[in-house]
A and B are shown apart, each in its own frame.
Chain A
Amino acid sequence: MNRKKTYCFTAIVGQEDMKTALILNVINPGLGGVLIRGEKGTAKSTAVRALAELLPLRRQVKGCRFGCDPDDAAHLCDECRARLERGEILEAEEQPMRVIDLPVSATEDRVVGTLDIEHAIKTGEKKFETGILAGANRNILYVDEVNLLDDHVVDVLLDSAAMGVNTVEREGVSYSHPAAFILVGTMNPEEGDLRPQLIDRFGLSVTVAGEHEVERRVEVLENRLKYENDPEAFFQEYEPKQAELRARISEACARLPKVTYSRAVMELIAKICIQLEVDGHRADIVMLKTAVTLAAYHGKDQVEKEEILQAARLALPHRMRRRPFEDAQFDFSRIEELLRE
């Protein structure tokens, strides 16, 4: 079956923060994903699904069920490692990054993987049947309505999201494999909160709202109608823009390792995080990585204040320490003040 095209990422009107956050994660999969919060009908899931059309090609080991990176010796799965140790050469192929869906109704055994019953009955041998997390390795793992996910599935996500490894000790199976995925979640905050521990696993967070300008709203409508009337023509119309963005992403990917940052940048980030009383150190680290990735996306070789400010906007709001029931108010003026100093 041919993959059905969803919508054009570039045809989404406004929602710049959300779009930037998603693109940054594609450029730098180490950012830790993004949580998109917003009301119904604000193109949240459309954006994530449309992202699939922009994902770059990358090298992966041919035939590996986890899509290991042949150039990253530190994160190979057991099978690839064993092959390497036997002296085999890992053949590589180019495949695009993918968006893997984690439906809210998914059962735990489907998420983490389980004993292959059929194999066990037929041959009497135990075999690990991989789950969604295996396929998500080095890809985007997308959870729509992430706040409605069953608690025990969240528990599983917590560990693999932090460590990039899925450890299975269940149903007679003992296995662990790489599961370094980009966690992308969308949610409507009216339907309940996300557990604090899971929120922290998301590298970035953005809040989207419907457009309020009439002109913009008209534009949204026009695009949507165009798409529904004649999807093919719609895709063709946007293809140049899509190609441009694709090129920009792959350029940024190439530039990313070369971006540098001064000690002053790090000091500033540390100061901001201390000022805002964020929990732990993940905020600092994510903020620095985000600033670096932004610089790459902006075509710069050096992180500047502009990137820090934008990184703060993306990496900090969901990490502000707050007691339950306090409104999380994110005060940018404090950051801007610090930046001016």
Chain B
Amino acid sequence: MKRVVYPFAAVLGQDEIKKALLCNLVNPMIGGVLISGEKGTAKSTLVRGLEALAGSQRLVELPLNITEDRLVGSIDLSRALLEGRSVLEPGVLWEADGNILYVDEVNLLSDHIVNTLLEVAAGKQNVVEREGISCVHDSRFVLIGSMNPEEGKLRSQFLDRFGLYVEVQGERDPAARVEIMSRRLEFERDPLGFLEAYREETARLQRAVTKARELLPKVEVTENALALAASLSENVHCCGHRGELATVETARALAALDGRRMLNTEDIREAARFALAHRAREIAPGTALPPEGEPDSREDRDRQDQETQQEENQEPAENPDKTPEEERNQDSEPQTSEEQEKPAEQQDSENTGEESGRREPSRQISDGEDREGDFGESEEVQESGEAFEIPRWQEPPAFHRVNQGAGKRTLVKSDNHQGRYVGYRTAGGEKAEDLAFDATVRAAAPFQKNRKKNGRAIAIEKADMRLKIREKRTGGCILFVVDASASMGANRRMTEVKAAIVSLLNVSYQKRDRVGLIAFRKDGAELLLGITRSVDLAQKRLAELPTGGKTPLAAGLDLAYEVIMGLKMREPEVQPVIVLVSDGRASGKKDKNSNPFAEALKSAERIGNQKIRTIILDTENGFIRFHLCGKLNEKLKGTLLTMEELRSDGIIEAVKGYAAPLA
């Protein structure tokens, strides 16, 4: 369906995306662009409006729910059935060749499709080997993606595929917002008339693109420019060379758009801003990368950009005499500023100061307060400490194996007819449940001429049977079992524990995990929150959680066992995880003759025997340690982490990675 698209030229502001998009039109060697930003900031409007400027290039859309056969192409069903010939019916990758391929909400694309897309994007060729079709065709496209980081992150491999990266924000200026509103309403009232009104401006932009395309081959790249690009890239610890290549190609496009044949340092710097941001490797944990979409990092970057600009304003715009060495020194400032090297905590608190009101002020965790006196039956509610960011998780490779190929957390290959149909497989000897009709018919199509039909229109044999491959985004299921006894009130330990849990909940929120919360204190364990998708609720319950009383650890574990077993009964495909937050000490026994810790070990063993995944957050601190959690973990056969580890470099990632393939 041909749709009427809001004209590119009528979008107010958003100069960064516009520039990045236009550069890609001018120079397809850049390798596309990823646009990340909050909702309602004209991301997809701009991309869709690009087609009008692209000359002969078309905008080919890759919808999220695409199936593999439409992506790579498959046998032409009609011709196979009617003429008995195997002919390729080209897919989206064929259409995209020489054009622009656009994926909206690219972070939600199913893994199955992403893998294929990555392969083709890398090889620039699409190899079709299926249904008796064997063919290879070129597939060179400008890949454009847009995403809202609130909905989850992009795999780093995929991220790297995009030549450029831009972040968008809404306009803050009232006058601009008024203009945006009135143009939009005008467009909706009379779309065709609106297009007409911007025809002139659109044509002007189109001419500019055409001219720049002609000029591009003549734009010269000097040694100096190359050296500058390389040093910029090195300064932000980019992996690989794609970053500097994209920088140079973008700079060429910028010069061409500007009508120049000479690159200047300004072009390179501007290009580097687009090309390196998403490739900068993490230097210190807790330094959120731009694609992670943390508002803080965005502000950081903005601030850095401003610094860069200020710096540049002080010097003459062009300074060809400068050696690359000098450039490097100057440019190292904004990118690897000390700020990034600071521990995450400190940085967080700085940001808090800036965005006052958006966050609870950070609490000092060990503020030296002596709360020993609070032991006993008294109750108190400690608030959550400052949540820390859990950096992008890196999948520990071992996990796929452990998990018997069940896939990673967000995507489970589902076998109960739920989830998105992304591809198909041969049935083999399996019972043909969840038959992929389309694929089955296609598989049978080439042989129709020679088959006995017995009065049927189409003869399908067992070997033709194809079953659907489905992917389901389930999210994990995490049950927190939290020690809320008096000892947790000591030294504001609960504050820290709550911070740790909130950090995990933050991740769960994005992954749409389900969570539950059990607290054990006083005389028993209590299910504060049954397994629910409302992570909000979990956080609320957690905030209200009082501490005080004895430590019936065994009761907590027993309740967790019951909850998890009940869940497994209802939903066998779920692989839940218990996160036990405790120092391992137990008090308050079930019966007089046993010891509380022995009881806890028994309960732990029961969980361990069921192969329920567990993580223990050992909250034991101080100089004298009993390492009781270690003993507990022998029975639970899970992962043991101390709070220090959780806070310190790297391990957070491990937890995250551990939590990752839970589903």
Residues of A within 8 A of B (CB): 30, 73-75, 77-78, 81, 108-109, 112, 114-115, 117, 120-126, 147, 150-152, 155-156, 158-159, 162-165, 167-174, 176-178, 189-193, 195-197, 200, 257, 263, 266-267, 269-271, 273-274, 279-285, 288-289, 321, 323-325
Specify which chain A residues have a CB less than 8 angstroms from the CB of B78 in the assembled complex. 124-126
Give the interface segment out of B178-186, B315-323, B390-398: B178-186
Q: Is the CB of A192 within 8 A of B67?
A: no
Query: B177 in the interface, Cβ–Cβ < 8 Å?
Result: yes
Contact of A152 among B38, B62, B472 (CB under 8 A): B472
Contact of B177 among A115, A121, A284, A321 (CB under 8 A): A284
Q: Is the CB of B70 within 8 A of A121?
A: no
Q: How far is the CA of A77 from the CA of B63 in the complex (A)?
A: 18
Q: Is the CB of B359 within 8 A of A121?
A: no
Contact of A30 among B188, B532, B535 (CB under 8 A): B188
Query: B505 in the interface, Cβ–Cβ < 8 Å?
Result: yes
Query: CB-nearest residue of chain A relative to B170?
Result: A280
Cβ-closest 9 pairs across A and B: A280-B40, A192-B533, A282-B40, A124-B81, A270-B177, A171-B438, A152-B420, A325-B539, A170-B67
Report the minimum CB–CB distance from A323 to chain B (whole Å).
Answer: 7
Q: How far is the CA of A283 from the CA of B323 in the complex (A)?
A: 49
Q: Is the CB of B89 within 8 A of A155?
A: no
Query: B592 in the interface, Cβ–Cβ < 8 Å?
Result: no
Q: How far is the CA of A229 from the CA of B261 in the complex (A)?
A: 85
Q: Is the CB of A120 within 8 A of B3?
A: no
Q: How far is the CA of A156 from the CA of B2 in the complex (A)?
A: 19
Given contacts A117-B438, A263-B178, A325-B536, 12 further A-B contacts (CB under 8 A): A75-B191, A165-B3, A170-B66, A171-B439, A172-B69, A196-B150, A267-B174, A267-B175, A274-B174, A280-B39, A280-B170, A281-B180
Q: Is the CB of B1 within 8 A of A176?
A: yes
Q: Is the CB of B77 within 8 A of A169?
A: no
Report the minimum CB–CB distance from A270 to chain B (whole Å).
Answer: 4
Q: Is the CB of B104 within 8 A of A323?
A: no
Specify which chain B residues have a CB less than 8 angstroms from the CB of A159 in the assembled complex. 63-64, 104-105
Q: Is the CB of A120 within 8 A of B77?
A: yes
Q: How far is the CA of A167 from the CA of B92 in the complex (A)?
A: 12
Query: CB-nearest residue of chain B relative to A288?
Result: B181
Identify the interface centre among B66, B110, B185, B438: most chain A CB within 10 Å of its CB: B438
Contact of B67 among A30, A81, A171, A321 (CB under 8 A): A171
Specify which chain A residues have a CB less than 8 angstroms from the CB of B457 in the assembled complex. 121-124
Report the minimum CB–CB distance from B26 to chain A (whole Å).
Answer: 27
Which positions 488-509 of chain B face chain A at CB distance < 8 Å? 502, 505-506, 509
Interface string of B62-95 (1 = CB under 8 A from A): 1111110111001001100110000001011000
Query: CB-nearest residue of chain A relative to B532?
Result: A192
Q: How far is the CA of A285 from the CA of B39 in the complex (A)?
A: 13
Specify which chain B residues have a CB less than 8 angstroms from the CB of A284 in the assembled complex. 177, 180-181
Query: CB-nearest residue of chain A relative to B2?
Result: A81
Query: CB-nearest residue of chain A relative to B460?
Result: A121
Q: Is the CB of B177 within 8 A of A197?
A: no
Selected A-B contacts with CB under 8 Å, 26 pairs: A108-B65, A109-B421, A115-B437, A121-B458, A124-B78, A124-B457, A124-B458, A126-B78, A150-B418, A152-B110, A162-B44, A169-B63, A171-B67, A171-B439, A172-B69, A172-B70, A173-B70, A177-B1, A190-B534, A192-B534, A193-B536, A195-B151, A196-B151, A197-B150, A270-B174, A325-B506
Specify which chain B residues have a CB less than 8 angstroms from the CB of A73 in the assembled complex. 192
Query: B172 in the interface, Cβ–Cβ < 8 Å?
Result: yes
Specify which chain A residues have a CB less than 8 angstroms from the CB of B532 in the assembled complex. 191-192
Q: Is the CB of A152 within 8 A of B65?
A: yes
Contact of A281 among B61, B177, B191, B539 (CB under 8 A): B177
Contact of A324 among B41, B42, B74, B509 (CB under 8 A): B509
Contact of A197 among B151, B359, B509 (CB under 8 A): B151
Query: B299 in the interface, Cβ–Cβ < 8 Å?
Result: no
Specify which chain A residues have a CB less than 8 angstroms from the CB of B189 in the assembled complex. 257
Q: How many A-B residue pairs have CB under 8 A?
A: 215
Query: B108 in the interface, Cβ–Cβ < 8 Å?
Result: yes
Q: Given the interface contacts A115-B438, A176-B1, A324-B506, does A169 sit within 8 Å of B62 by beta carbon? A: yes
Q: Is the CB of A172 within 8 A of B174?
A: no
Q: Is the CB of B69 within 8 A of A274?
A: no
Q: Given the interface contacts A189-B534, A288-B185, does A152 sit within 8 Å of B66 by beta carbon? A: no
Report the minimum CB–CB distance from B68 to chain A (whole Å).
Answer: 9
Specify which chain A residues have a CB less than 8 angstroms from the CB of B473 in the assembled complex. 151-152
Q: Is the CB of A156 within 8 A of B64?
A: yes
Query: CB-nearest residue of chain A relative to B61?
Result: A167
Contact of B70 among A123, A169, A176, A190 (CB under 8 A): A169
Query: B419 in the interface, Cβ–Cβ < 8 Å?
Result: yes
Query: B589 in the interface, Cβ–Cβ < 8 Å?
Result: no
Q: How far is the CA of A192 from the CA of B536 in the complex (A)?
A: 8
Q: How far is the CA of A123 from the CA of B535 in the complex (A)?
A: 51
Query: CB-nearest residue of chain B relative to A165?
Result: B3
Query: B431 in the interface, Cβ–Cβ < 8 Å?
Result: no
Q: Is the CB of A283 within 8 A of B359?
A: no
Query: CB-nearest residue of chain A relative to B66?
Result: A169
Query: B656 in the interface, Cβ–Cβ < 8 Å?
Result: no
Contact of B438 among A162, A172, A269 (CB under 8 A): A172
Contact of A174 among B70, B172, B441, B472 (CB under 8 A): B70
Interface string of B149-175 (1 = CB under 8 A from A): 011000000000000000000111011
Q: Is the CB of B421 within 8 A of A171?
A: yes
